[in-house]
Amino acid sequence: MTKSDEKPVYLAADCGGSHCRVRLYDEDGNRLAEGFGGPSNATLGLDAVLSEIFRATREALGTLDGETIPLSRLHAGFAMAGLIEPALRDEFTHIPHPFASMTAETDAFVAQLGAFAGGDGGLLITGTGSCGFASVGAEKYYIGGWGFSVSDQGSGARLGHLAVRRALQAYDEILPPSPFCEEIMNRLGGTPAEVSSWSLTARPADYADLAALAFNYAAREDEVAVYLVKEIAAEVEQLIRALSKRGVSGIRHVGGLAEPIRPWLDDSCQNYFVTAEGDVFDGALRLINNRTGLINKSGKGRQ
């Protein structure tokens, strides 16, 4: 084995409700490769999440030119949505894995770590789900992020769920129809029975897939779409104000809904936003190097 073969390689992963993204870095922080997987929220089960991470990692490794890097050489750090419940967090620290080392924290924690280079600040994620995180001195605060069934306000999944309910109400003539409602019904089978059947297996990511449709119709001034997007914007504003109460000097807003919802937010909220110093992958690298997250010491027990 050459000295080059012995050099560490870092695996940074962003594990969210709709997809998993991984990036490989050398010891100098240079990006080597990138790979993608499917939904990887911790609430789906850690075995399912690790399977997506492995799939994305092997895709990334497969793009390397002329170099074979085994999983056992990778030092892994994960920003993992849904890694909240004590049982899941404990399971993570014991689950077998093939990496040289493995650490993780919630996606909000890791994204904040990257956005503020380890310093104080607030982080708001509005993607498939939603979560706020603030670091002020020694204090750490979570805002929301307790799962789709009871939380995730201002998220893509929440917007999609509201759209499906509203489309059914229009079909049943409980509330007025609109082209947006008709489009939702057509996308999901055309009848309430088909929509109900779809909902039995629908995941948050499936509801979030409908969010772009809502923004498209809102831009066309569809009354229902405009109403729902404004409702989501109001929920995002609540999260922003809840973070500001924790004493943060600035908030970095990220996630798939961050850009499309920005024009719908009240002007007073725009003053909170700051430019990030880094992203979630920078945060994952800090997590690995500083060993500040959940640390799994099992190691090299599965391939």
pLDDT tens digits for range 63-72: 998 778 999 9
Q: What is the mean pLDDT of residues 104-123?
A: 94
Give the pLDDT of residue 5: 58
The answer, yes or no, to whether residue 2 has pLDDT greater than 90, is no
Looking at 3.30.420.40, 3.30.365.10, 3.40.50.1370, 1.10.10.10, the CATH number of the domain 7-117+278-296 comes to: 3.30.420.40
Q: What is the pLDDT of residues 185-218, one digit of tens each?
A: 999 999 999 999 999 999 999 999 999 999 999 9
Could you tell me the pLDDT band of residue 34, with boundaries at 50, 70 and 90? very high
Residue that is written with structure tokens 């009848």 in the block: 191
Give the pLDDT of residue 66: 73
Q: What is the mean pLDDT of residues 164-177?
A: 98
Name the residue among 292, 11, 280, 243 with its Cα closest to residue 127: 280
Give the pLDDT of residue 297: 81
Q: What interhelical angle do 211-219 and 156-171 show, nearest 10?
A: 70
Residue that is written with structure tokens 């056992």 in the block: 72
Give the pLDDT of residue 90: 95
Q: Across the chain, what does the average pLDDT equal?
A: 93
Name the residue among 89, 84, 126, 132 with its Cα closest to residue 112: 132
Residue percentage of the chain with pLDDT more than 90: 88
Give the pLDDT of residue 1: 34
Give the pLDDT of residue 67: 74
The answer, yes or no, to whether residue 300 has pLDDT greater than 90, is no
Q: What is the pLDDT of residues 130-170, one digit of tens each?
A: 999 999 999 999 999 898 999 999 999 999 999 999 999 99
Give the pLDDT of residue 299: 57
Q: How far apart are CA 203 and CA 60, in angstroms?
A: 26
Q: How far apart are CA 239 and CA 7, in angstroms?
A: 43
Could you tell me the pLDDT band of residue 291, with boundaries at 50, 70 and 90? confident
The number of residues making up the chain comes to: 303
Q: How far apart are CA 78 and CA 43, in angstroms?
A: 15
The answer, yes or no, to whether residue 302 has pLDDT greater than 60, is no
CATH 3.30.420.40 corresponds to the domain 156-270: yes
Q: Which range, of 11-15, 218-222, 234-238, 269-273, averages the lowest pLDDT?
A: 269-273
Listed in order, the ranges of the chain carrying CATH 3.30.420.40 are 7-117+278-296, 156-270
Residue percentage of the chain with pLDDT more than 70: 97
Could you tell me the pLDDT band of residue 303, with boundaries at 50, 70 and 90? very low
The answer, yes or no, to whether residue 38 has pLDDT greater than 90, is yes
